[in-house]
Amino acid sequence: MLDVAIEPNERYKVSNVFRDASAAARKYGVRLILSLVNNYKDYGGRPQYVQWARNAGVQINNDDDFYTNVALKDYYKNHIKSVLTRFNTVSKITYKDDSTIMAWELINEPRCDVDYSGRTLNEWVREMANYTKSIDNKHLLEIGMEGFYGDSTPERKQINPGYQVGTDFITNNKIKQIDFTTVHAYPDIWLSGKDDSAQLAFMQRWMSSHWADSKKIIKKPLVFSEFGKSNKDPGYSSGVRDSFVNAVYRNIYDFAIRGAVGGGLIWQIMAEGMEIYNDGYEIVLSQEPSTSGVISSQSAKMSILSHLMKGQHGEFKLVE
C-alpha cells in the first residue's frame, strides 16, 4: 500500500483492498512489508501531498517541501496514524498489532533534488521514524531506500551509478529507529546503454558494498528489496533475465550464509489479468515457467538456510 486514493471519496476502496489483502496474507502465511507513501506520482505519492497543500492555500515551492514543510509533514503523520491504528474488520486486528505485517516502509525510493547531501532526508527520516515507533513499536521499520551513497562517505560515491539522489545510505540507516537497510537495483535503467556484462559487474559492486556496509558500519540486516530485468531492454529474452536473476540470487545466498542479509525481493510478480500495471518488469509465473523455476529454487534454498540459522541463532527469519 503506497498511499491513500487521490480522491477522498475513493479512499474506502484502498482500505478495503488492504483489508482483504492482509487477511489473505494471514491465511497463506505470507508476511508483508507495507510502504506508507511513494516518492513518485504513481498511487498518489509525494506529489499528491504537495497538491493537497497547495489546494489548501499552503505556500509550496516544490515537491521536496514534503520533507520540510510543517503542513505536509502533518498530513503525512495523520496518514501514518490512520493506517497503523485502523481496525481490520476481517481479521479483527488493528494493523499496529497485526503479526502478518513484517515491517512498515516510510517511503518508496525517497529522493531530494534540493539537497543531494542526504541531510534533509536524514532529518525527515528521524522525525517520521520516531513518530511511527511512538504508535507502533512492535513492527520493524525501514526507509525504502535504493542505496545511493551521500556526502558522509565521499569514497563510496564512486559506487553510485554516476549521480546522487539526495539520500545517504550510511547516515540515513544509522538512525536508531530504523531496523534494517534496503537496496534497490535497476542497472538496466541506471546504466542504460551499457551491455549486460557491464550491468552485471555494477550489480556485483552494488551488492557487495551495501552488504559490507550494512554488516560492518551500520550493523543492521540488509534486504535486497527490489531488483529485476525489464522485457523492454534491447536484446531481452527470458534466458537473459533468468541469468541475471540467478546471479543476483547466488550473491544473496552467499551473503546470507555470511550474515547480515535477510533475503531478496524480485520486482515484480503479477497475476493474470493485471496487465494495466505492467511496467516491463512484470513476471506472471503461470506464463514464465523458467523464471518461476529460478524463483522457486531460490525460495527453497533460503527456506532451508533460514531453518538452519534459526536453529543456531534463535528467532531469525530470512525473507525468501
Q: Which residues are catalytic?
A: 109, 226
Q: How far apart are CA 43 and CA 21, in angstroms?
A: 17
Q: How far apart are CA 129 and CA 182, in angstroms?
A: 15
Q: How far apart are CA 11 and CA 215, in angstroms?
A: 40
Q: Are 118 and 167 in contact (CB under 8 A)?
A: yes
Q: How far apart are CA 178 and CA 98, in angstroms?
A: 19
Provide the grid cell at 199. Answer: 550491468
Provide the grid cell at 203. Answer: 550489480
H or E element at residue 183: strand 181-185
What's the sign of the alpha-carbon dihedral 147, 64, 136, 7?
negative
Neighbours of 33 (CB within 10 A): 19
Phi-psi region of 188 (alpha: psi -120 to 50; beta: other; left: phi over 0): alpha
User: How is residue 68 annotated by DSSP?
Assistant: T
